[in-house]
Amino acid sequence: MDHPQTAPAPSFAEPTPLGLLGLAVGCAALMPIALGLTLTADALRTAAWFCLLFGGGGQFLAGMMALANKNTLGGTLFTTFSFNWVMNWWALSELSQGRVPNASVVLSVDVCFLVIFVVLTYAFGFVSKLLVAFLLDIDLLYVLRIARELTHARALGPAIAACTVALALLALYIAFALLVNPLAGRPVFAVPGPAFTPRPPT
């Protein structure tokens, strides 16, 4: 008699909270700079290491674990974003020494990232409305970065800082929901359902 096949157990525990907490810490390190509170060399170097260890390292580890768990969407997002945080580390380290990354290259990559995150925003709509809000904040952040790079408008700085704060808060909320709700047995941190319903197989 044939036995029904069951899905293999994941290799690791759910890694998403790890990646999101790393993201939140990286954003927190950038906030004093984004808000214009400090632009000293030591502030840039300090933020750079937080970006590398938490933004880059935490999300890379979460991405690798998600891919091992056969979570292609989450693993792709975390792993791709982790490399961007490594670039943030490099850019801040260079700025602390008075060297500015090439603006044309940064603009080209930001446009590419915007395309990537717009598509991922749609994809995560099949998972949760909250994740759509999270990705939309990233989309807006890149739109503002590109606009600033094209216009050199310093007035966009506060809006970019606000998006960074919102991104950290959303990351913390989603991470807390994933960590606390299963232990409490109830939605202490409410998480809405999917924004889109997949088409049933024909």
Q: What is the pLDDT of residues 103-143, one digit of tens each?
A: 999 999 999 999 999 999 999 999 999 999 999 999 999 99
| The predicted structure's pLDDT at residue 182 | 96
Give the mean pLDDT of 180-201.
93
| The predicted structure's pLDDT at residue 2 | 45
Q: How far apart are CA 30 and CA 44, in angstroms?
A: 9
Q: What is the pLDDT of residues 87-99, one digit of tens each?
A: 999 999 999 999 9
Domain ranges of the chain: 16-181
Give the mean pLDDT of 58-74.
96
| The predicted structure's pLDDT at residue 165 | 95
Predicted confidence (pLDDT) at residue 187 exceeds the cutoff of 60:
yes
Q: How far apart are CA 74 and CA 76, in angstroms?
A: 5
